[in-house]
């Protein structure tokens, strides 16, 4: 079943016939929870997106709110929205303002942008900081034998309180959103520790932790889009600490470029990680805060130089390439008009499967641009800049590419603010099926 599904999704990613504007879901999966009914039928915005010409932009406006939990908020240092072709949309997560608690008392939520219905779906509304202490006292949340805080149904409590950077992906075979975490079994982050709700709750949970081993620190969180539940699994042995995370459909493995410039492979079925032993030059700087994308045609990843990596090294190119089959890194020299892949607060990097280009959209302090990188030749193309309305918005930028409609999408909203708008952009129209 998984092999057949993987083959079907691979065709979606590379076959020109898939660029029809239709979601790739097979309609046979009965999802529960917040993702029930997905993928949605194409709504009125899809026809407008399909009509986009070459190098054309479209302001789609503000997506409709989730009926109960409202709209997804902008989040600094979180450009990546992992795209789920079988769901017809992309995930938005991560902290915005450090230690941010929403007006309704919720902390660290997860949203999904339903592309076909142009709406928000609340995957997880966030930890309720107003009731968390009392809920612990009542036994609604307990530390289990793995050292993980879970609810009465065994679902782990999500609340890592970190920027999402490049540390999330979507497993197209298991149909799970995944985010890496370096936090332990208890919720919260360093910016919330002085807050009364966290100080008291952590003290209560620490009492429950006595005599139990923490088996979940550093393990990923999963959201199962079929059951509608969050998951987190104990794991022994070595694990990567933070970093850039992607799912490799050709190997059915998680790939992570993590601390100490190490490349890791993880099995989402067995939850075991191991160093990949990859050779070659790796990107300097913070491994999670880089521009990055996956090339489905060549089965390789492109990463940029991270910030705080010091001055550029002699003959260093802007693009670092990891070849999945060869398990090796390379760093080809720059060609004319070369543009760096922006870090996670300054732009979005996507692989455009219809046109076989890595698209780079920079966006910072009213300035920005669009560039296309040819993976075959290493050549760069400078394109007309985005519209003034897009550039003038000083909000955070998040984005993804949908092969089904051959368009790039950018959500621009101010940090921890929910008044953002969604933009669509097409580099070039795909060749029509003969």
Predicted pLDDT at 142:
95
Please tell me whether residue 293 adopts helix, strand or coil conformation.
Answer: strand
* Residue range(s) defining the domain that contains residue 274: 2-426
Per-10-residue mean pLDDT of the chain, 434 residues long, equals 37 40 76 96 96 97 98 96 98 94 96 98 97 97 93 92 94 96 72 91 94 90 97 90 94 96 94 96 94 98 89 91 98 94 95 98 88 97 95 91 97 95 96 50
- Residue 184 has a pLDDT of 66
Q: Which residues, including other chains, have CB under 8 Å from residue 138's CB and lie 6 or more apart?
A: none
Residue 234, in any domain of the structure: yes
Do 235 and 272 meet the contact criterion of CB atoms below 8 Å apart? Answer: yes
In this structure, is residue 151 part of a structural domain? yes
Give the pLDDT of residue 281: 96
What's the pLDDT score for residue 14?
A: 36
Per-residue pLDDT at 287 = 94
Residue 431 lies in a domain: no
Count the domains in the chain: 1
Site of tokens 């497993």: 171
Any domain includes 432: no
Q: Which two tokens stand for residue 87?
A: 């769901």
CATH of the domain at 230: 2.120.10.30
Whether residue 434 is contained in a domain is answered as no
Residue 296 lies inside a defined structural domain of this protein: yes
**Distance (Å) of CA 414 to CA 80, 123, 396:** 16, 21, 5
- Asked if residue 105 belongs to a domain, the reply is yes
> Which value, in Å, is the radius of gyration of the alpha carbons in the chain?
21
Residue 110 lies in a domain: yes
The DSSP string of 26-79 is -S-----GGGTTPSPPP-HHHHHHHT--TTEEEEEEPPBPBTTTB-PPB-TT--
What pLDDT is attached to residue 149? 93
């Amino acid at each position: 079943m998984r092999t057949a599904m993987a083959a079907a999704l691979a065709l979606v990613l590379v076959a020109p016939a898939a660029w029809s504007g239709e979601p790739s879901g097979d309609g046979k999966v009965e999802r529960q929870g917040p993702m029930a009914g997905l993928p949605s039928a194409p709504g009125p915005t899809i026809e407008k997106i399909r009509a986009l010409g070459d190098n054309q932009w479209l302001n789609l406006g503000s997506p409709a709110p989730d009926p109960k939990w409202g709209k997804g908020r902008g989040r600094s240092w979180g450009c990546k929205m992992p795209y789920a072709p079988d769901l017809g949309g992309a995930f938005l997560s991560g902290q915005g303002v450090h230690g941010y608690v929403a007006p309704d008392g919720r902390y660290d939520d997860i949203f999904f942008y339903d592309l076909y219905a142009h709406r928000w779906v609340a995957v997880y509304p966030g930890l309720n900081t107003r009731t968390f202490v009392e809920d612990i006292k009542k036994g609604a949340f307990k530390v289990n034998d793995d050292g993980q805080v879970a609810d009465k149904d065994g679902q782990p409590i999500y609340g890592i309180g970190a920027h999402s950077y490049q540390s999330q992906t979507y497993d197209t075979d298991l149909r799970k959103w995944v985010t890496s975490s370096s936090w332990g079994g208890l919720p919260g982050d360093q910016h919330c520790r002085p807050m009364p709700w966290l100080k008291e709750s952590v003290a209560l949970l620490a009492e429950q932790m006595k005599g139990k081993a923490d088996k979940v620190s550093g393990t990923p969180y999963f959201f199962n889009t079929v059951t509608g539940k969050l998951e987190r699994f104990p794991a022994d042995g070595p694990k990567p600490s933070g970093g850039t995370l992607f799912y490799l459909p050709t190997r059915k493995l998680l790939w992570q470029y993590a601390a100490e410039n190490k490349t890791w492979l993880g099995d989402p079925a067995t939850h075991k990680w191991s160093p990949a032993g990859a050779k070659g030059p790796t990107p300097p700087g913070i491994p999670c805060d880089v521009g990055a994308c996956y090339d489905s045609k060549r089965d390789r990843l492109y990463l940029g130089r991270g910030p705080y990596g010091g001055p550029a090294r002699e003959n260093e190119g802007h693009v670092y390439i990891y070849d999945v089959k060869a398990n090796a890194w390379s760093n080809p020299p720059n060609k004319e008009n070369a543009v760096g892949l922006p870090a996670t607060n300054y732009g979005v990097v996507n692989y455009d499967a219809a046109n076989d280009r890595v698209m780079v959209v920079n966006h910072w302090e009213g300035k920005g641009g669009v560039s296309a990188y040819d993976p075959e030749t290493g050549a760069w193309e400078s394109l007309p800049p985005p519209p003034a309305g897009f550039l003038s918005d000083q909000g955070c930028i998040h984005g993804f590419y949908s092969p089904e409609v051959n368009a790039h999408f950018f959500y621009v909203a101010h940090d921890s603010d929910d008044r953002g708008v969604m933009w669509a952009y097409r580099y070039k129209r795909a060749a029509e099926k003969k």
